[in-house]
Amino acid sequence: MGPLFGAVLARALDAEWERLRRPDPFVVLEAGAGRGVLARAVVAARPACSAALRYVAVERSPALAERAGDDLGAEPAAMVLGPVADDDDETRFMSGEGPLVTVLHEVPLGIEVHVVLANELLDNLPFRLLHRDAAGWSEVLVGADGDGPPLVEVLVEAPAGAAAAAERFAPDARPGARIPLQQAAVEWVRRSLQVIGTGRMVVIDYASTSATLAARPWRQWVRTYRAHGPGGSPLEDPGSQDVTCEVAVDQLAAGARTPDADRSQADWLVHHGIDELVEEARTTWHERASLGDLPAMAARSRVGEADALCDPAGLGAFRVLEWEVRQ
């Protein structure tokens, strides 16, 4: 994908900045920032909030964090988030110096964050897998079988708390049905809401409800990826593929807080002006197609990217969950 998604996100950040009456600094925290691709696209879009923008890219992987820092021209956290001394030996935040970017391994504490972003993060957090059988709920564990495949499923009676949670979230599940229990995602949402002073959290991911997941084959919502394509069984070649799970929004609501908004990625992108950006690109393409220069190619690419981002059978089916925080 190209930079269009970041350009729309930049518009969404501008809307939140305006809603909050233009704070400076305006602190945006992206969790699971990877190589900083989204951060670069946001900064490159030159949002109106740029001068106030302090972008905090949080990435646990040392290798990815180092790459992001290099590519983003990241500054030390103290320079981006900390106060500085003025001529009267008083401390204050620098204003009007943005956009400034820093890369951290953990969510910083003790700072006022205005926006928390998580793009395809929650589906990567650990989850438990519960299986409905005639006697009630079992938990799917992993065991080693010396006579067969290296790893195999082992069904054991689910602990009382897990069984009660599964029954509460999917009371009509039929024998053979499975659901995830996503306590790690719930805890992440709860903690992340606490770091926001006044502002918004935006989570973008494949999402559904526990009852809907129970009605579908479990391998449709527990997915594996390897080398940018579908992988094999979740037990196949541990460490060689990503294992992901659709996010059960009802579990987030019960364990943390109900989102204030829940809509498709396609609807969210339209709400924040993707159509306007695409129309500008079409105009540029028509004006410069005969030249075939870089602006023409970039404009043509943007139109194609918009189609992919809004495809209801693909990326457009992502859900965008938003929580507003007021102090």
Please tell me the distance from the alpha carbon of residue 242 to that of residue 224, in angstroms, as a whole number: 5
Plot region of 317 (φ>0 → left; ψ -120 to 50 → alpha; else → beta): alpha
Judge whether residue 267 has pLDDT over 90.
yes
Q: How confident is the model at residue 228 (pLDDT cuts 50, 70, 90)?
A: confident
For range 151-171, the mean pLDDT: 96
Q: How confident is the model at residue 84 (pLDDT cuts 50, 70, 90)?
A: low
Portion of the chain with pLDDT greater than 90, in percent: 72
Judge whether residue 86 has pLDDT over 80.
no
Q: Is 168 helix (H, G, I), strand (E, B) or coil?
A: helix
**Residue 290 confidence (pLDDT):** 77
Interior/surface letters 93-104, b for 16+ CB within 10 angstroms, e for the rest: ebeebbbbbbbb
pLDDT in tens, 115-148: 999 999 999 999 999 999 999 999 999 998 777 6
**Residue 297 confidence (pLDDT):** 79
10 alpha carbon, distance to own chain's centre? 15
Q: How confident is the model at residue 88 (pLDDT cuts 50, 70, 90)?
A: low
Please tell me the least confidently modeled range out of 65-69, 201-205, 238-242, 313-317: 313-317
**Residue 312 confidence (pLDDT):** 86
- Complete domains list, the chain, with CATH: 4-125+183-218+244-274+308-325 (3.40.50.12710)
- Contact (CB, 8 A) for 55 and 104: no
